[in-house]
Chain A
Amino acid sequence: MIELENVEKFYVAGSVETRVLKGVSLRIEAGEFVVIMGASGTGKSTLMNVLGCLDKPTAGHYRLDDTDMVNLDDDALSHLRNGKIGFVFQQFHLLDRATALRNVMLPLIYANEYPDDARQRAEKALTAVGLADRMTYRPNQLSGGEQQRVAIARALITDPSILLADEPTGNLDSKSGAEVLAIFQRLHRDGRTIIVVTHDRAVAEHADRIIVLKDGMVAEDQPVAHPRDADVELAAIAGKEAQK
């Protein structure tokens, strides 16, 4: 469960103070699939950083599973990120030198207890995103969609409370994007909390709730009546390809 209460974020550059978040309050229940939308400059990325515990708010409170991260020091925030948050980035952010398997295992290195079955877990996670036959590949041997799926496997390896994705389809073609969204929808059906930050309305409509930011505040917060089904879209894309 996520609860933001009057979260503000100011940046000071010289004598100019920029207020990026001007009192954001919202509550996301466990198991929700939420999209945060907004044009660039609306504080979307800043909110994402706060939600990911990468950055502390200037004022307000942020409770993640009843822990108020505002009171935590840097080490505690690192442990919180490691245990509770799975990140998926627009640029994938995989280590070039490491195989898919080692990339997926990376968060476990920083876990309090390194699991004995780290390798089996990573293999399972890669299998779950459909990359059972790509485990020993390096990122440059994988397509963009495959790389993003490795990143999703990596985000899930510590079994986090929330999966936080920043423009996860931004660098992907429509088919790979649909594949990623299909994985998110499946994880959602399995009960995982998913938060996706995007500016793309078509992506947003796959969630069951859309929060729109405007000028550092929540402008809209609406449920999606009929979320789009990424599996259906994938089937359509496959059909078109078959016709060609």
Chain B
Amino acid sequence: MRVLRIAKEGASALAGHKLRTFFMMAGTIVGIAALTVIMAVGKGTEKKVMKRVNAFGTHAIVITAGGGKGFSPPQAGITTLRLEDAEAIRSQIQGVDVVAPFAMKPDISTKAGSNQVQTRVMAVGPDWHDAWEWYTTDGDPITAEDNSTMARVCLLGTLSVSDLFGSQNPIGEDIQIGNVRFKVKGILEPRGPTPMGGEFDRTIVIPLTTGMRRVFNQDYITNIRVKVKDSRQIESIAEEIRHLLHERHHITPPREDDFAIFSAADIAKMARGISGTLTYLLAALAGLSLLVGGIVLMNILLISVGERKKEIGLRRALGATQGDIFRQFLLESLSVTIIGMVAGSVLGWAVSIALARLTQSPVVISWEPFALALAFALVVGVFFGVQPARRAARLRPVEALR
């Protein structure tokens, strides 16, 4: 093929000027590397976000007693969140599926035999399982009857099982929570890390009534978890709940809220964190490198057209058409950007992997950045190669040979 033979001519010109070729390539390498890192980090971040959102519950809104900006455990001493609030949400807000009030304390002393640990204890109603989509693997869930009889029964997370019982089967065994004796009636499904990096599985669950009266000794709750029917409405429903609670708690600005509301959307925002900013920075770097690299490429090619006038004239005299010369220079430009792209991709992968090790955050290596990089390489190569190639092709052989 004629084009292949001409491409070979271009390639040998590049190989003959290694340093110059490297400078022509540098911008593409940096740009494509940045692009690859963006995509790897971006995909990694999305994976992390999805994991956190899934851990939190994609349809979940959590109301926590006490104000504050971050997603944190309920503030002690806030007594204003009541079972009646949960009832009001259930009866007045459209689009909610399950409303599950609960009371929790992060560190209650629990004991089984000689093992004693500080554990999160959650006192929950019968709706809690559905609200959290968190059920038992062994034994039975907390029921309405457990609540109405103030039964002293509990469920253990898998880590709490190993904390208190080791590898022994805990079902039917007794444990002590605070000063009260409970019977283990079931084991919760493993749920993994919480959105904030704790462990869901280090949890003990007891009936809400039993917890409020016998363990926590309080007449208020600490949280309400709401499960919405349609996750797309999650933010508007959260806003409606906020209004309702403002009304019920007689809060008007500038008084601070005595509760905080978090939805899956808020969790996603927090999980994205600074990676959004980093992505914009890298995108700017990638764009700039490709642009500047392209301009440098074009200028070096233009200079090289000037330097190689005699060569161009000779080729024309020996029978090269304008098209042959045009293609040779365009192929030189394209080879530079495509080789630059391959080098940039490799560099980008290396940086991504290093970044993943360094920040302990997930980085996803996939084929998409490679495809995108190839597209960019072709665009840059053609866009900045056309002008020099055209200039070379238009040289008149008589003048070029002079």
For residue A83, CB closer than 8 A to chain B, the reply is: yes
CA distance in complex: A89, B16 (Å) = 24
In the complex, residue of chain A having the shortest beta-carbon distance to the beta carbon of B318: A107
For residue A241, CB closer than 8 A to chain B, the reply is: no
Stretch at the interface among A33-41, A47-55, A128-136, A142-150: A47-55
A212 to chain B, nearest CB (A): 23
Q: Which residues of B contact A55 (CB under 8 A)?
A: 396-398
The contact string, 1 if C-beta is below 8 Å from chain A, for chain B 314-343, is 111111111110000000000000000000
Q: A49-B398, A75-B322, A93-B310 are in contact. Are A54 and B317 (CB under 8 A)?
A: yes
How many B residues touch the partner, as a band? 20 to 34
A49 to chain B, nearest CB (A): 5
In the complex, residue of chain B having the shortest beta-carbon distance to the beta carbon of A106: B318
Q: Which residues of B contact A54 (CB under 8 A)?
A: 316-317, 397-398, 401
For residue A111, CB closer than 8 A to chain B, the reply is: yes
Q: Which residues of A contact B230 (CB under 8 A)?
A: none
Q: A49-B398, A95-B311, A97-B12 are in contact. Are A107 and B319 (CB under 8 A)?
A: yes
Q: A81-B317, A109-B5, A114-B2 are in contact. Are A93 and B322 (CB under 8 A)?
A: no
Q: Which residues of B contact A189 (CB under 8 A)?
A: none
B319 and A79 within 8 A (CB):
yes
B318 and A97 within 8 A (CB):
no
For residue A87, CB closer than 8 A to chain B, the reply is: yes
A110 and B319 within 8 A (CB):
yes
State which residues 1-32 of B face A: CB under 8 Å. 2, 5-6, 9, 12-13, 16
A237 to chain B, nearest CB (A): 31
B397 and A109 within 8 A (CB):
no
In the complex, residue of chain A having the shortest beta-carbon distance to the beta carbon of B311: A95
A81 and B12 within 8 A (CB):
no
A110 and B322 within 8 A (CB):
no
B314 and A75 within 8 A (CB):
no
Partner of A110, one of B12, B13, B313, B315: B315
Q: Which residues of A contact B313 (CB under 8 A)?
A: 93
For residue A82, CB closer than 8 A to chain B, the reply is: yes
In the complex, residue of chain B having the shortest beta-carbon distance to the beta carbon of A80: B319
B12 and A98 within 8 A (CB):
yes
Q: A95-B311, A97-B13 are in contact. Are A110 and B320 (CB under 8 A)?
A: yes
Q: A54-B398, A75-B322 are in contact. Are A109 and B6 (CB under 8 A)?
A: yes
Q: Which residues of B contact A93 (CB under 8 A)?
A: 310, 313-314, 317, 401
Q: Which residues of B contact A98 (CB under 8 A)?
A: 12
Q: Which of A54, A93, A109 has the most CB of B within 10 A?
A: A109
B321 and A110 within 8 A (CB):
yes
B4 to chain A, nearest CB (A): 10
CA distance in complex: A75, B321 (Å) = 5
A89 and B401 within 8 A (CB):
yes
Q: Which residues of A contact B316 (CB under 8 A)?
A: 54, 78, 81
Q: Which residues of A contact B401 (CB under 8 A)?
A: 54, 89, 93
Q: Which residues of B contact A82 (CB under 8 A)?
A: 318-319
The contact string, 1 if C-beta is below 8 Å from chain B, for chain A 48-65, is 010010110000000000
In the complex, residue of chain A having the shortest beta-carbon distance to the beta carbon of B9: A109
CA distance in complex: A98, B314 (Å) = 14
State which residues 76-135 of A face B: CB under 8 Å. 78-79, 81-83, 87, 89, 93, 95, 97-98, 106-107, 109-111, 114
- The 21 listed contacts between A and B (C-beta, < 8 Å) are A52-B317, A54-B397, A75-B322, A75-B323, A78-B319, A78-B321, A79-B321, A82-B319, A83-B319, A87-B317, A87-B318, A93-B313, A93-B314, A93-B317, A98-B12, A106-B315, A109-B5, A110-B318, A110-B320, A111-B319, A158-B319
Residues of A within 8 A of B (CB): 49, 52, 54-55, 74-75, 78-79, 81-83, 87, 89, 93, 95, 97-98, 106-107, 109-111, 114, 154, 158
Q: Which are the 3 A-B pairs with shortest beta-carbon distances?
A: A82-B319, A110-B319, A97-B16
| A-B contact sample (7 more), CB < 8 A, given A55-B398, A107-B318 | A74-B321, A78-B321, A93-B313, A93-B401, A109-B5, A110-B2, A110-B320
